Each structure stands twice: as C-alpha cells, then as structure tokens.
Structure 1
Amino acid sequence: MVNTIRGLGDSNAQFRVYIGNRPAFKFAKSSDQYVPLLASELKEVGLACGNGWRKVFNVYAKLVFALAEQGPVASNVSQFDCWQAYRDKALLQADSDTALCFEPYQLALGRTNALHIIMGRTYAKSLHLSPDIVWLDNEFALDLASKLIVCPYFDYRQLSNSKIIRLVEIILQVNTDKHLPMRV
C-alpha cells in the first residue's frame, strides 16, 4: 500500500527538500502529515524501495553535514563524526529540523523562515514556479525572496560531491542575504 503522508521528518523543519515521488512503504507511524522516521526505517525504506531511495537519503545527509562543516548549525549535526552517523541517527527524525516533502512546493504554503530546496530541474519546471526564480546555470536556480533553491536530483551522479559544495555555497548566500535561521 502506498502511503498518503505529506512528507518525512520534522513537520516544523526549517530545511525542507521537495521531491516529485514518494516511497511505496508502510511507515510505522502514518498520518496525512509529516512522519518522523524511526531509526530503523531509513534503512528499511532503502531495502524495500530500492537503491534510489538509499541514494536520496545519503545525499541529503551529505548535504546537511557539508553545510554544518561551513559554520555553526544545529547541535544535532555537530555531535556526529560523519555524515553516515548523522543519517542513521538524526536525519528526518523528530526534531531534526529536516523534512523530505512529497507535496509540491507552493509559496503560500511555504514556511516564512524555512529554506526550500526542490530537487530536479524537470520537477521544478512542472511546478510553474514564480517568475522571480533566476537560473544560475543549467542545474541551479534561486529565488532569494522565497528562500527557494532548485538543484539537481539527490543522486550521486546528478548531485555529485562538487555540486553539493556548490549547493552549500548557494545556501550560505541565501543565509547571508536573508538572515535565514539555520538550525539544521
């Protein structure tokens, strides 16, 4: 049975990533809202739903961990020695300040202080985003006023380590320009 939840992680997250698909997985806690992952579920989703989901979680953890290396963010990231430990023990869990959103991004629904990242150019274009979005190149776009970034899909080839570094630089620009609270 495919779940009908709106996303995974912290429903009040300030770091929100939007994806155009969802895992066909029955989560222990189900609702129509955001479901914080249990520690074991991250691995279970990867096993049950395929390597693509494992890659999404890995790249998400690598991104948050790389961002934490650039300056102080939430204490929950700094307590881990590596991105793998952060992924397994904190990513998309209750009070993690991270969310993986299955609902399409809409400015009206966006949280005012949250950072919004849409993964995938094709998915972003299907959302008919604000004309204020500026494509920085063929893969990254930015709308500073909405604190919205479009980046490649969370996959090793599409969002490689060097592109993660580029995304971190863009996030830091948003943080500097708009004084975005970073509690990731």
Structure 2
Amino acid sequence: MIGLGDQNASFRVYVENRPKMPQYQQLFDCEAMQAGDINLIYQHCGNGWRKLFNVYAKLLCALDPKLFTFPTQAASWQLYRDQFLLQQASDTALLFDMPQLNPAENIIHLIAGRTHAKQLIERGLACQLHWLNEEFAIDPINKVLVTPYFDYRQLSNEKIKFTAGLLHSLRT
C-alpha cells in the first residue's frame, strides 16, 4: 500500500494523485499522518485537498456507529479530521496505488471517482462492479465501492448519506 494513514486500515480510499509536496512524491508505503499534517497539505496544495479531507471526515462521521467506530471518536467531523483521520491506528488510509483485494478480509475499498475506477480496471483491478447509476458502483464480494470524487459539488451531503447506506450494506 502506498499512501497516507494507518497501514492496517480496514477503510481505504483510493485517489489518483498525491499531494504535490516532495515528501509525498517519494512514498513507497503507507505513512501515518501527524497532527497538523492535513493543515500543511491545505496550505501547500490548495483548496481541492481541503475539500477531499473534509468530505472524507464527513463521510466517516455519517456512518452507522453500530457498524463503524468513526462517528463515536469525536464530537464533530471537523474534530475527527484534525485528531484522527489518517493517523496511526485510525483504521483509515488514503491510497495512491491499486487496491489489493481479498474477499476474506473485512476491508472496504472506496475508489473516489468513476474515471479513476475505470483506469484501475484497465490496469488490471479484478473486481466485478455493478453500476447503480452514472456515479456509483459496487462489488459486494470484494467490498469495493465507487463514488464521485471527494469534492463538495461531486459528493454532496445527500450523496454522502447515500454512500453511507451503501457502506452499511458492505459491512453487514
């Protein structure tokens, strides 16, 4: 796994690009973030990264607390983002490589963006996506979910709720 977060994460989000900072261009594994790292990425890489981290935290906090512990760890999604997201033992990761699928593992693989999902399939990702509409696809066997990219316009609050429902179905 190449990316940011908990190397043992059971909740993995895949995006195409890394933050354009030297320390992230040379990653060869999954590196846990430290408090304040997300803020540094905002400052150096722009608003798109702020939106991505915000949507990631909002999604985690919208999940069913009976199935996921994320909503119970902080009083708000903002606090969750700043205190837990992508840190050591957070059970979350933001990855820049190909998902390694193993149906026996209880790992959720969320691919942010239809175009990115199609690129991964062209590169050999072996999953059977069932497209629910133009933006969402699911493979319940491999626990793969494709959503719109993590941006307020593409993954609105309404679509975050829809995504949370799909994730509920993958966990039960």
Q: Same fold (TM over 0.5)?
A: yes
2:111 match: secondary structure: strand
Alignment partners' CA distance in 1, 2:129 and 2:89: 30
CA offset at residue 33 of structure 1?
0.9
Question: 2:17 matched to 1:21?
Answer: yes
Q: Pick from 68, 72, 75: which aligns with 1:73? A: 68
Secondary structure of the corresponding residue to residue 88 of structure 2: coil
Question: What is the correspondence of 1:36-115 to structure 2 with a 5 Å cutoff?
Answer: 36-68=32-64, 70-74=65-69, 77-107=71-101, 112-115=105-108
TM-score, normalised by the number of residues in structure 2? 0.90
Q: Find the counterpart in structure 1 of residue 156 from structure 2.
A: 160
Percent identity (aligned): 46
Aligned equivalents of 2:115, 2:59: Cα separation in 1: 21
Structure 2 residues not aligned, in runs of 5+: none
**Shift in alpha-carbon separation, 1:72–1:148, aligned structure 2, 3 A:** closer
User: Measured at CA, do residues 130 and 61 of structure 1 come closer, stay the same or move farther in structure 2, by a change above 3 Å?
Assistant: same
Other structure's SS at 2:110 match: strand
User: Could you tell me how far apart the structure 1 residues matched to 2:96 and 2:143 are?
Assistant: 18
Structure 1 gap ranges (5+): 177-184
Name the TM-score, length of structure 1 as normaliser. Answer: 0.84
Contact 1:20 1:104 survives alignment (8 Å):
no
Q: Comparing 161-170 with 77-86, which one deviates more in the overlay?
A: 77-86
Residue 63 of structure 2 aligns to a residue whose secondary structure is helix
Contact (CA 8 Å) 1:18, 1:100: kept in 2 or not? yes
| Matching of residue 170 in structure 1 with residue 166 in structure 2 | yes
Which one of the candidate residues 128, 132, 144 is aligned to 1:132?
128
Contact 1:27 1:41 in 2 (8 A): no
Q: Using the alignment, how far apart are the partners of 1:171 and 1:72 within structure 2? A: 10
The answer to whether the 8 A contact 2:63-2:71 is kept is no
Q: How many residues align?
A: 168
- After superposition, the Cα gap between the structure-2 partners of 1:64 and 1:112, relative to the gap in structure 1 and judged at 3 Å, is same
Take 1:98 and 1:115, find their aligned partners in 2: how far apart are those partners?
10
Distance in 1 of aligned mates of 2:43 and 2:37: 10
One-letter code aligned to 1:122: T
| Aligned mate of 2:145, from 119, 143, 149 | 149
